[in-house]
């Protein structure tokens, strides 16, 4: 009878571990997002970048604010190699600090080679703003 109880506990433990492993695996695979610079994104196959986060600098040229709807289309330059760029289409409220030369992070996916559809646009605040805020709060 003791042998029977051990096998029941062993089966229950195996089922628990299998279920827990599946939950961890499915949770990680659904929430995984690549975080890349422009050069790395261009080196990857566009079909593998259906969910990605890119960072770079807004190009001085080819910056078009959408007319009649919120959003912007711009070239995102690689921070280390300005010759490499991806065109970003963003539909949504544009941050006040967004302008040419600013570092940004966009989240979305590749819609075509060298073209990225962004669902999120965040600008990196310059350190001078952070210093001013610290002095005001002191």
Task: Look at residue 27 in the predicted model and tell me its pLDDT.
Answer: 65
Tens digits of per-residue pLDDT, 21-69? 877 776 655 556 678 889 898 888 877 788 889 999 999 888 888 898 8
User: How is residue 102 written in tokens?
Assistant: 């600013």
Name which of 82, 88, 85, 83 is nearest 65 in CA terms: 88
Q: Identify the residue with better confidence: 130 or 112.
A: 112
In a domain, 103, yes or no: yes
Task: Look at residue 133 in the predicted model and tell me its pLDDT.
Answer: 47
Tens digits of per-residue pLDDT, 96-106? 899 999 999 99
Task: Look at residue 100 in the predicted model and tell me its pLDDT.
Answer: 92
Q: What is the mean pLDDT of the chain?
A: 83
| pLDDT (average), residues 115-130 | 78
Do 55 and 16 reside in the same domain of the chain?
no
Do 106 and 74 reside in the same domain of the chain?
yes
Of the chain, the percentage scoring pLDDT greater than 90 comes to 34
In a domain, 132, yes or no: no
Task: Give the range of the structural domain holding residue 27, as residue numbers without chain letter.
Answer: 1-32
Do 61 and 106 reside in the same domain of the chain?
yes
CATH of the domain at 79: 2.40.50.140
């Amino acid at each position: 009878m003791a042998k029977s109880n051990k096998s029941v506990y062993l089966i229950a433990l195996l089922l628990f571990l299998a279920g827990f492993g599946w939950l961890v695996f499915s949770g990680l695979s659904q929430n995984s997002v690549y975080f890349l610079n422009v050069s790395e994104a261009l080196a990857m196959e566009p079909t593998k970048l259906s969910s990605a986060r890119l960072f770079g600098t807004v190009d001085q040229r080819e910056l078009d604010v959408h007319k009649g709807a919120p959003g912007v289309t711009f070239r995102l330059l690689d921070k280390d190699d300005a010759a490499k760029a991806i065109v970003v289409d963003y539909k949504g409220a544009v941050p006040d600090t967004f302008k040419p030369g600013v570092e940004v992070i966009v989240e979305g996916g590749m819609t075509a080679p060298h073209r990225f559809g962004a669902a999120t646009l965040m600008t990196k605040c310059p350190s001078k703003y952070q210093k001013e805020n610290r002095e005001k709060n002191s």
